[in-house]
Amino acid sequence: MAIEKKVNQLLSKFPFVKKTVKRMYQLFFYSISSKNKKLGNIERISPNDEYEYFFGYYDKSPWDVTNRYMLSLKVLDTSKSTAPKTKADILLIDTHNNNKVKKVASTNTWNVQQGCMVQWLGPNFDEEIIYNDFQNGEYCSVILNIKTNEKRIIEKPVYSVSSDGKWAITLDFSRLHRLREGYGYSNKEDLTKNEKIPNSPAIWKIDLDKNESKPLLNYTDFYNFQTTSSMKGAEHKVNHIMINPSGTRFMVLHRWLNGGDKFTRLVTVDMNGENLFNLNDDKMTSHCYWKNDQEIIAYANKAELGTGYYLFNDQTSEFKRVLDKLKNDGHPSYSPNNEYILTDTYPDKARMASIYLASKNEVKTIARVFAPFKYDNELRCDLHPRWSRDGKQISFDSVFEGKRRLYTIDISKK
């Protein structure tokens, strides 16, 4: 594994060569591996037809408060474009009625990694959902009451929504699409494409009750905050915003590209855009999750210890390594009672990806699924495992049956 990581790092400056070498490497090992498509107690929740179904990111739950109804997107194809300009249906799946499907809405903007940010709206998580859309030439979000069909159009799309349903934080999805395919939207051109460090908003705060938004931070604010030499002349972006459980602070990954080098730091901020704190600046921070209002788990690099999972204490220099047995990047999250950690992996050399359930020092593999070569690189289907609200089930997206599908695993008998 150490050799693989070194080769990966060496080739990171040459993306095309890296993709070619990776494909040849995986084709060889797949040819000599067992041909299992899945391992684990996996149940398909979405239909098995000509369409594709998925939910999106790992920091949101597709389940409502009763753990009966699940949200899913239905699209025609996810194997040709990271952010198609085609409609996606938003479905409600009744898991207590033979997974009966009901279309509740549609959206004009989505991507293969995070969908349209569809999610149940707090604080009740029972009858209102919120999702992003593209209407009248602008990105927006829609709050829909699935029982009354009443809609409210919000003037900005959302990225992260507070648990009380009152606030949201968002970013420039067009710039993100240009600089990180699969995470932004393609409906509008990036107006900042000729600017490496735009003096324009990078992050906005949205009052969902009043339907008002205001800029919080510009790209230049991130650049001017503890500037390093690698930032100079680099192209800057932000991604992966997450609001803490009580809605007092949010985290964001500030990333910059300097030639073939990529840099990321984890920054936390008050909800009013003040008190920026550089929580980790050792070149790489990947996927994160708030354990509580003070602690963040992240797959990251620490100069003296290397890459792995770390638990950071916000607004301090304190951190500790967790999940020592897991060496590869994944999408971590804590169970609702904070007793368990859920995470996954990308496909290995035999194109199998794993889902892990961890408690203290014990790590269990609860699923392994195959990823066809059709879904690779920017078009890949990350598993993005997420919790049911009672912590008894997990859901994930996968393509081991040949198309994107939504699956669950019952972990009530851990």
Residue ranges of the domains in the chain? Answer: 8-410
| Burial (Cβ within 10 Å: 0-12, 13-18, ≥19) of residue 96 | exposed
pLDDT value at residue 217 = 98
Q: What is the pTM of this model?
A: 0.92
Residue type, 295: E
Q: What are phi and psi of 393, to 5 degrees?
A: -135, 160
The residues with which 288 forms a beta bridge, in sequence order, are: 298
d(CA 338, CA 296): 12
pLDDT value at residue 24 = 73
pLDDT in tens, the chain (414 residues): 455 656 556 656 666 666 676 667 666 655 655 667 999 999 999 999 999 999 999 999 999 999 999 999 999 999 999 999 999 999 999 999 999 999 999 999 999 999 999 999 999 999 999 999 999 999 999 999 999 999 999 999 999 999 999 999 999 999 999 999 999 999 999 999 999 999 999 999 999 999 999 999 999 999 999 999 999 999 999 999 999 999 999 999 999 999 889 999 999 999 999 999 999 999 999 999 999 999 999 999 999 899 999 999 999 999 999 999 999 999 999 999 999 999 999 999 999 999 999 997 799 999 999 999 999 999 999 999 999 999 999 999 999 999 999 999 999 976
Identify which of 274, 310, 316 has the alpha carbon closest to the alpha carbon of residue 294: 316
Instruction: Spell out the residues 6+ positions from residue 270 whose beta carbon is closer than 8 angstroms to its own.
Output: 248, 249
Residue type, 112: V
pLDDT value at residue 252 = 98
User: In residues, how long is the chain?
Assistant: 414
d(CA 154, CA 120): 15
pLDDT value at residue 5 = 58
Judge contact between 393 and 409, C-beta under 8 A. Answer: yes
C-beta atoms surrounding 414 within 10 Å: 14
d(CA 318, CA 361): 21
Identify which of 327, 371, 382, 325 has the alpha carbon closest to the alpha carbon of residue 349: 371
pLDDT value at residue 2 = 55
Instruction: Spell out the residues 6+ positions from residue 337 whose beta carbon is closer than 8 angstroms to its own.
Output: 391
Secondary structure element (H or E) that encloses residue 31, with its range? helix 15-31
CATH architecture of 8-410: 7 Propeller (2.130)
C-beta atoms surrounding 78 within 10 Å: 27
Identify which of 141, 36, 74, 144 has the alpha carbon closest to the alpha carbon of residue 406: 74
CA 55 to mean position of chain CA atoms: 11
